[in-house]
Structure 1
Amino acid sequence: MDRLLTLEMFVAVASEGGFAAAARKLGSSPPAVTRGIAALEARLGTSLFHRSTRAVALTDAGAAFLEQARRILADLAGAERALRGAEAEPRGQLYLTAPVMFGRLHVLPVVGALMAQHRDLAVRMMLIDRDVRIVEEGIDVAVRIGPLADSGLKAVRIGWVRQMLVASPAYLARRGAPVRVADLAGHDLIAAMGPRAAGEWQFVSGRWRVDPRPRLVLNTVDGLLAAAEAGLGIANLLSYQVIKAVDAGRLISLLAAEQPAALPVHLLFEPSRAGLPAVRLFIAEMKARMRMAGLV
């Protein structure tokens, strides 16, 4: 049986959790998928799945092989797309992901301009404040803020952002402004859930343990901003999230001399997608957007 087809069957069974579901996804039959997996296992000389009457689960060897199989299929698909038109007009579906507020402020304007210029381009964008598994979820380009983990993915740095502590003029008039990191212990703190959850805040002078617990914890950046502007306490946010409110005087920057090192903003994607017209153009336009926003 064709090696590529058996790889597609293997990934489908692992993703769908069963032979019948994989067959439906591939437009095949369960017996054909069963034969394909058996042929692949015979060729590799190892079992890839534990089988029972109720479930199918990956063996240790299967789990180790899955990531490689997905990457092989993704690389092949990318090579085919590039060959069909490396210099062609951007067209088809572009899959993006970005943190919610960064996506709304900086990615969406770029997407809107690209769609206006290229009528055959469609975009699917996932705005979410967590790291998405790029290969598994079929993402073309992901925006990542902060240090990157080692991976086989290609990264292009497009800018920098900084941590900023902010509070409203009304709160500071009522409670006073901290002049040292240690002074935060006497203030009401507003903290985030998720990737930047409270616990420790980073400063030039070192990590500061948020203790006692924050008075208010929210799960969205918009909520944190609204709470800070309403005078409910001091919030720890990123520069791109608060710069408009600071410039307008609705929030005041605190302990600026204690700001830690800037965090990089990267575009992350599979190497096989680098030659796609839509990906190339999106990267170029995001670089221009960051320069215009003063985030480089």
Structure 2
Amino acid sequence: MDRFERLTVFVAVAEQRGFAAAARGLGLSPAAVTRAVAGLERRLGVTLLHRSTRAVSLTDEGAGFLDRARRILADLREAEQIVGGGRSVPRGQLYVTAPVLFGRLHVLPEIEDLLAAHDGLSARLMLVDRNVRIVEEGINVAVRIGVLADSALRAVAIGAVRQTIVASPAYLAKHGAPFDPADLRRHRCILGNGARVASAWSFGADGRTIVEVAPRLTVNSIDAEIRAAEAGLGLANLLSYQVADAIAAGRLVPVLADRAPPALPVSLLYEAARASMPSIRLFIDAMRARARRGAWT
């Protein structure tokens, strides 16, 4: 095997956490997979994997090398795509990450359309409510909601979402609606534990009016937070796209809308070196078009 093939085998073993599973996935014999990893370790002069009769795990050196191996293989695939005429036809895998609910509602439909239109394209979608390392994980495009930190990555703003304080009609009938942010201190509030977790809720045109709320309930998913609010357990601080359907159906009612802070930007992040990839260009164009249609405002 050449060095690229050994890297492919190593990544497969690390991801599958086993030599036998990696061998099945690669269509190789377990012995060939074992020899490939051993040869890579000899070349590098380090042990990449801890072996046991039950499992395989990464050493510290292996964990650091895994990120680089993924990046090298991703760069190789992109180089092959460009040489093979990929500048105009989307081919290979498009790897996208996005927040869970936003991705399900607004990213997955666009990826479905791209796959339907381009037979040579495949996609991988990681939905997670935390920021992941784009370069190290080999991700092509990341959807981010909120103010971006300084980065060498290229960013494209495609829209914005608003903070929306909501409660069920039953809750408001029983406890009344807050008319001022300070009123929240006497209300029951629901908190999540995703990327926007905070008991300090901001208000006003500059976002500097801060109200510290005491949660009556804390949950670990947006879906659970929405359901708890619909059940009348308290007020929830969510984003406009997350509660649009519930508000339209009358299950939730927005409050303090006139005191909301500035909207949060929705951005696409990607490496500048990958900007010419047709799959990335098509995905960015599709998300811009979706934003222009007002899909999540």
Q: TM-score range by the shorter chain?
A: 0.7 to 0.9
Which residue in the other structure is 2:283 paired with?
282
Q: Give TM-score, length-normalised by structure 2.
A: 0.76
Deviations 1:160-202 (A, max 9, x none): 2232212355544543333444321211213334334454434
Letter in 2 for 1:185: R
1:100-249 to 2 correspondences below 5 Å: 100-111=100-111, 113-114=113-114, 117-118=117-118, 125=125, 127-131=127-131, 140-147=140-147, 155-168=155-168, 171-197=171-197, 199-203=199-203, 204-205=207-208, 208-211=211-214, 213-214=215-216, 216-225=217-226, 227-228=228-229, 231-243=232-244
Name structure 1 gaps, 5 residues minimum.
none
- Correspondence 1:98 to 2:104: no
1:254-269 to 2 correspondences below 5 Å: 254=256, 256-257=258-259, 259=261, 261-269=262-270
Q: Give TM-score, length-normalised by structure 1.
A: 0.76
Alpha-carbon distance in structure 2 between the residues aligned to 1:46 and 1:120: 38
Alpha-carbon distance in structure 1 between the residues aligned to 2:103 and 2:54: 42
Give the 3-state SS of the residue equivalent to 1:266 in structure 2: strand
Letter in 1 for 2:26: L
Alpha-carbon distance in structure 1 between the residues aligned to 2:29 and 2:116: 42
Deviations 1:127-148 (A, max 9, x none): 5545567678775433232355
Check the 8 A contact 2:67/2:137 in 1, yes or no.
no
Which residue in the other structure is 2:14 paired with?
14
Check the 8 A contact 1:228/1:251 in 2, yes or no.
no
Alpha-carbon distance in structure 2 between the residues aligned to 1:22 and 1:245: 44
Which residue in the other structure is 1:252 paired with?
254
Residues 115 and 53 of structure 1: CA distance in aligned 2, closer, same or farther (over 3 Å): closer
Q: CA deviation at 1:253?
A: 3.0
Identity %: 58
1:62-101 to 2 correspondences below 5 Å: 62-90=62-90, 94-101=94-101
Name structure 2 gaps, 5 residues minimum.
none
Number of aligned residue pairs: 293
| C-alpha RMSD over aligned residues | 3.8
Alpha-carbon distance in structure 2 between the residues aligned to 1:63 and 1:248: 48
